[in-house]
Amino acid sequence: MKLQLNGEAVESAATTLDAFLTEQGYGEAKVATAVNGSFVPAMMRAGQALSDGDAIEVLAPMQGG
Amino acid sequence: MRDFYGTTLANGFMLGTAQYPSPAILAEAFKRSGASVATVSLRRESGQDRAGQDFWAMIKGLGVHILPNTAGCHSVKEAVTTAHMAREVFDTKWIKLEVIGEEDTLQPDVFGLTEAARILTEDGFQVFPYTTEDLVVADKLLNAGCEVLMPWGAPIGSGLGLNNLFGLRAMRAHFPDVPLVIDAGLGLPSQAAQAMELGYDAVLLNTAVAKAGDPALMAEAFATAIAAGKQAAEADPMEPRDMAAPSTPVIGKAFLS
């Protein structure tokens, strides 16, 4: 299925957000996630089903003012 | 010192973590600054390089309070969603709420800001709103649940200092019990001292330190100025006057003409 990860097109076999993060190499990284503009808390990722065309944002700590 | 949602800070120095020449210089600047709060952000993370993980490990090692921001957000939805993501990643209720309304000045959209502040406060956040010195907006932010106000000194990154002394002085007088932070626009330590002399509780700055030729030295200079300004405010400064008043006693002066 075709998904968007941080604005880039990716092909994925994952059916849940949890599996998608593992597939994309995030492992145990400290990240926050959103699907189609809505926040998905870490504890809900396993139950978050993904559909073709979904836009996923994966954010992490970064420098800020 | 007024506290920030129940937290008493060791000093009034809040320092940003962006734009430093290197992580080592950032760490050295924080060490020399003695800053009690570090502002941080959230950005897209790649599953390959995972750059944010090293940064986060370093920031945690600084041992300061963490204040995540919603920098770059232009809508209420964007800011609220970013705040939720920041709360999970940084494990803090604190959020520096920015809803930008104008690109050239990065002036806050105070209408969106107030709405986002209300939504986030109702959801348990402790909001630090980046606002203007407008007293009516300030009142609405307090009504929305904010217990701290952060008016700008000048546009973000401009280094112009305190552009509206009258407005900032009025804000301090109008809200004597509210913790006030000058957020953005400071370029020199003297401007930070001036903010503290006005009775402000803290200053938040980034570019003035990060873009200095020697960021660590500038961080220390700001720390000294902030401490001096705070002492001056506590010492109850004299009232300025238009005409001269001799400081040396006139009584007892010799008659020599």
Is B41 buried (19+), middle (13-18) or exposed (0-12) by CB count in 10 A? Answer: buried
Which residues, in sequence order, are bridge partners of residue B44?
A59
Tell me the fold of A2-59.
Ubiquitin-like (UB roll) (3.10.20)
How far are the Cα atoms of A53, B118, B129, B132, B254 from residue B100, in angstroms, in the given order? 29, 17, 11, 12, 66
Residue B1 has a pLDDT of 63
Whether A32 and chain B come into contact, CB under 8 Å, resolves to: yes
Whether A8 and chain B come into contact, CB under 8 Å, resolves to: no
Tens of pLDDT, residue by residue, chain B (257 residues): 689 999 999 999 999 999 999 999 999 999 999 999 999 999 999 988 888 999 999 999 999 999 999 999 999 999 999 999 999 999 999 999 999 999 999 999 999 999 999 999 999 999 999 999 999 999 999 999 999 999 999 999 999 999 999 999 999 999 999 999 999 999 999 999 999 999 999 999 999 999 999 999 999 999 999 999 999 999 999 999 999 988 998 888 898 98
Contact A60 B81 (CB under 8 A): no
Whether A43 and chain B come into contact, CB under 8 Å, resolves to: no
Contact A64 B71 (CB under 8 A): yes
Full-model pTM: 0.94
A-chain residues near B156 (CB < 8 A)? 65
Q: Is B96 a catalytic residue?
A: yes
Whether A10 and chain B come into contact, CB under 8 Å, resolves to: no
B-chain residues near A64 (CB < 8 A)? 16-18, 39-42, 68-69, 71
Phi, psi of B7 (to 5 degrees): -105, 125
Yes or no: say if B233 and B202 are a contact pair by the CB < 8 Å rule.
no
Which strand (E) or helix (H) includes residue B15?
Answer: strand B13-16
Smallest CA–CA distance from A63 into chain B, residue: B18
